[in-house]
Chains A and B, each alone.
Chain A
Amino acid sequence: MTEQAVPQQGFLERHRKVLLGALAVAIFFAAWQAVFLVVPFNPLFISKPNLILGSFYTLLIDGDLLRDLAISAVPFVYGFGAATVVGVTIGVVMGWRQRVGYALDPLMTIFYASPLVALAPLVIVFFGVGVSGKAILIFLLSVFPFIFNAQAGVRAVDRLLINVVRSLGGGERDLYLKVIVPSVLPYIVAGARIAVGRGLIGILVGEFFAASEGIGYAIARFGDLFALDKMFACILCIMIIAVVMTEGIRWAERAAFPWRVGQ
């Protein structure tokens, strides 16, 4: 009996965090909705949750939202994919070959520290407002987390394992495939989590600047049109996507590399 009673009693306590969080979100939206019972509502300045939900539904049904998202996703996939491949390669070599690390580290630090978004006008002018311009912007922004994390990962590789593989006659290729890649992977995934956020910035910058389609363009246009309910719907949509991607990677990290939990 007591064995059964304990988990039942603990339900509220165990899910306390989730419940409180949900409660807070509910209170937030309720307060947002309720405040306009007291304060006069000006649709040119602010929107209400029910209107936002309505236009979210409309945009979804019309397919506008999905079309914009699909258009924005293409350069993201190209840019982010290229950043993964190039960044991990450079990072692994930098971590593994000490002299390459010495040579490239200051250069990469300078690039990482400088707000590369500032090159956006140039990239757009040079490569145009299409897929290539946006993809290059996304690549530029998201490549550095991969480089630095891959490098840190390689440097954290257990020397003992390397010596073991070498003693047993493993070549350079065996080292890369059997020791370095498995131990570097968690670092790369952590880098991907940072890079996702920066990649999203890349999309938005590219599309705010000069685009005729895409989710960033939709937000800017609805803002210009004072269609605040639609703009809020798009903003919420981006927020959801960002949270799902970041938390999804975090979840994958916990599932795939449980020994790294807590780091």
Chain B
Amino acid sequence: MTDTRALKADIAGDADAPPRNPWRRLEPAAYGCASIVAVLVLWEVLPWIFTLSAGTKLFFTTPSQIGGTLWKMFATGSIWTPLAVSATGFAVGLGLAIVVGLPLGVLIGRSRTLNAMLDPFITAFNATPRLVFLPLVMLWFGLGLWSKVVIVFIGALFPLLINTYEGVRNADKTLINVVRSFGASEWDVARLVVIPNSMPYIIAGLRLAIGRAVLGVVVAEFFGAESGLGVMMVQAAGRYQVDVVFSGLIVFAAVSLLMTAMVQVLENRLSLWRPQQAGGE
């Protein structure tokens, strides 16, 4: 729905003719890598160019330090315990969101009455940053796993729900009528036409949901948890261990990117049967 990346890919696809010159094909990757390297190098040499005051030095770290810290965390295995705690909250919350979001999305896509009745709630909860419920959720579920699960769940549910709904709504009416004419039940319509057709939308929703779920884990752990990667980062920030904060950020980003890449692979597998022109937004 709000996934502009897909849109961009489409535009790039038809605008750029297949490049003949090998340099032209490598150009985007080369520029991309160069800019990342440039930023890292600049960051690394910054303290050599400017003499930092003692106060600033306290807040400053370099990529090499971050890399070293990250390496040490994995080498000593100290990262696994907090990572496992965070991953559990993430997985349970996202799993629940999928289990609830997909059927509910199909239902409100198929029933106009249900859609009209639930629409105000969906709009309200989708627009509101779920962080606002955190104090309440902590009051109800305590500092443990379940507060985190609830926050992740609320965050991930709505992109899934809304995208499933959009996908179901855009299912081909002719196909539905054909299947109906052959005596299919509502369940058959869902199974044969609606769900396969809404797959690209669901995948796009899943991609958004992963981002929001990771965000949910981070904020939930910042304010209402006893252990986990987010807790580690807050404590490190309090002790001015900036390298540890950045290491945590990198781990979160890596998990986020990895999950998104996995969803991409899933999407490619699931849409093999699809004719070329079809696809989600």
The reply on A231 being an interface residue by CB < 8 A is yes
The answer to whether the Cβ of A178 comes within 8 Å of any Cβ in the partner chain is: no
Residue B218, interface by CB 8 Å: yes
Q: Which residues of A contact B118 (CB under 8 A)?
A: 24
A residues less than 8 Å from B260 (CB atoms): 113
Which residues of A in the span 103-160 have a Cβ within 8 Å of any Cβ on B?
A: 103-107, 110, 113-122, 124-126, 148-149, 151-152, 155-156
Cβ 8 A contact of A113, one of B15, B28, B240, B256: B256
B193 to chain A, nearest CB (A): 22
26 contacts between A and B (CB under 8 A): A24-B121, A105-B32, A107-B32, A107-B39, A115-B249, A115-B256, A118-B233, A119-B249, A120-B222, A121-B222, A124-B237, A148-B4, A148-B8, A152-B11, A194-B2, A197-B129, A205-B131, A208-B222, A209-B222, A216-B132, A223-B138, A228-B139, A238-B129, A239-B125, A239-B127, A242-B129
Residues A114 and B253 in contact, CB atoms below 8 Å apart: yes
Is B265 in contact with chain A by the CB < 8 A criterion? no
Q: If the complex has contacts A120-B222, A121-B233, are A21 and B127 also in contact, measured as CB distance less than 8 A?
A: no
Max count, chain B CB within 10 A of own CB: residue among A106, A118, A149, A190: A118
What's the least CB distance linking A222 to chain B, in Å?
Answer: 8
Chain A residues in 8 Å Cβ range of B138 = 223
Contact A117 B219 (CB under 8 A): yes
Interface residues on B, range: 35 or more
Chain B residues near A232 (CB-CB < 8 A) = 136
Given the known A-B contacts A204-B132, A242-B127, are A152 and B8 also in contact in the complex, defined by CB atoms under 8 Å?
yes
Give chain B residues whose Cβ lies under 8 Å from the Cβ of A156.
Answer: 7, 11
User: Once the chains are docked, how many angstroms separate the CA of A238 from the CA of B28?
Assistant: 43
B275 at the interface (CB under 8 A from A): no
B residues in contact with A246, CB < 8 Å? 127
The A interface, classified by DSSP as helix, strand, loop or mixed, is: helix
Shortest Cβ-Cβ A-B pairs, 8 listed: A114-B253, A223-B135, A121-B237, A102-B31, A20-B116, A106-B32, A24-B117, A103-B35
A114/B117 in contact, CB under 8 A: no
Nearest CB to that of B217 among chain A residues?
Answer: A115
Q: Is A73 an interface residue (CB 8 A)?
A: no
Taking Cβ atoms with an 8 Å cutoff, the residues of A that contact B are 16-18, 20-25, 28, 45, 99, 102-107, 110, 113-122, 124-126, 148-149, 151-152, 155-156, 187, 190-191, 193-194, 197-198, 200-201, 204-205, 208-209, 216, 219-220, 222-224, 226, 228, 231-232, 235, 238-239, 242-243, 245-247, 263
9 new A-B contacts at CB < 8 Å, known A21-B116, A113-B211, A238-B129: A106-B35, A114-B249, A115-B253, A118-B230, A125-B237, A126-B59, A149-B4, A156-B7, A223-B138
